Structure 1
């Protein structure tokens, strides 16, 4: 995946003021809950035990590919108070994964885009829902419909529109099920610079539950 992008684009700005976040690239995404509250579950013996809210966050992340064009998804994990994932935009234009394109930064996500795609929470093999959470995510084989609008990003595919759509989908689904939940208003992104960084970040995401006590969000 990464080889096709090598060396196609270079931007020296630390703030990436000239970077178009609709550009083809791999992005390391972190989204936290409001006040870093443990809405998504808990770590037990180095493994994530998701709450119903955590299961929703997991499933809807993988729905991104069904509602945004030219998207690939890398590693993803739900943690007690945040999610990490790799989002790959591939096909919007001819520029590619940035090399020495600067550090990650916080960007706003004010997009209020809705959801309405019929979705089964049994799809995409969400992590185990902890036994302490007494909520049935699905009953009577009925497929839940999160809202009246479609899960979609408005206009051009960009990191902000895709993540804004995802955040809104999770929030609306939780509201529908009357589950207390809120996101932090912003998210953190980092453009993955090269193949070595891609694999290092992928391993970090994969091993995050086992290393939870050393996590800065702990």
Structure 2
């Protein structure tokens, strides 16, 4: 299906004009559909993953196997969402020689077609694989596991990176005040 602006009213949350396949460090948050506590629970300030949470954990750890130019930094599977830092180490599409040159990507790829190596492609693959495996385990083919979109933040310096790492590590202990906690 092609993009029809009269029918498709979703606005992108991505930074306009930014190449999300370019080398960089990204903080992402993915929410379970309807913020359902699908992946486990918090007990005494610690995450206790259930089988779906362990499956999501394993799939996240497998990202570099499928995308060898991606490095995983801190991440956590929470009861109803995932926080993670991904670092794209190099442009998987052959570069034109310098980082300041014009991209060789076809601008038609902006809507509808996955761009090899883009953050959205990596997240789409993770969501697809976890959805397939979770639905296989619970015998619910076609069930939606994840919210359609994901949140991202481009990490631009070491201070921001360290602050986000700390946020991820302390997330379970702050669960009772977390806006993602629907309990």
Deviation (angstroms), 1:216? 1.4
- CA apart distance, 1:179: 5.6
CA-CA distance at 1:214 after TM superposition: 1.8
Q: Secondary structure at the match of 2:41?
A: strand
Deviations along 1:134-192, one digit per CA (max 9) or x if unpaired, are xxxxxxxxxxxxxxxxxxxx651010000000000000011221266611111111001
Q: Which residue of 1 aligns with 2:46?
A: 47
Equivalent pairs, count: 150
Greater shift in the superposed pair: 177-186 or 80-89: 177-186
Instruction: Give the structure-1-normalised TM-score.
Output: 0.64
| CA shift in 2, pair 1:33/1:19, >3 Å | same
Helix, strand or coil at the partner of 2:138: coil
More helix, by proportion: 2
The aligned counterpart of 2:120 is 160
Any runs of at least 4 consecutive aligned residues in structure 1 with deviations exceeding 4 A, and if so which? none
Give deviations 1:94-146, integer Å, cap 9, x for gaps: 65xxxxxxxxxxxxxx89xxxxxxxxxxxxxxxxxxxxxxxxxxxxxxxxxxx
Task: Determine the structure 2 residue equivalent to 1:80.
Answer: 79
Alignment partners' CA distance in 1, 2:35 and 2:19:
29
1:196 maps onto 2:156 in alignment: no
Distance in 2 of aligned mates of 1:71 and 1:83 = 17
Contact 2:24 2:155 in 1 (8 A): yes
| C-alpha distance in 2 between matches for 1:66 and 1:15 | 25
**For structure 1, which runs of at least 5 residues remain unmatched after alignment?**
1-13, 96-109, 112-153
- For the aligned residue pairs, the C-alpha RMSD in angstroms reads 2.2
Q: Specify the alignment match of 1:210 in structure 2.
A: 173
Change (3 A) 1:15 1:163: closer
Q: Unaligned 5+ residue runs, structure 2?
A: 1-12, 100-111
Aligned equivalents of 1:179 and 1:24: distance in 2? 39
Indicate the SS of the match to 2:18: coil
Query: For residues 182 and 16 of structure 1, what CA distance do their matches in structure 2 show?
Result: 25
- Equivalent residue number for residue 172 of structure 1: 132
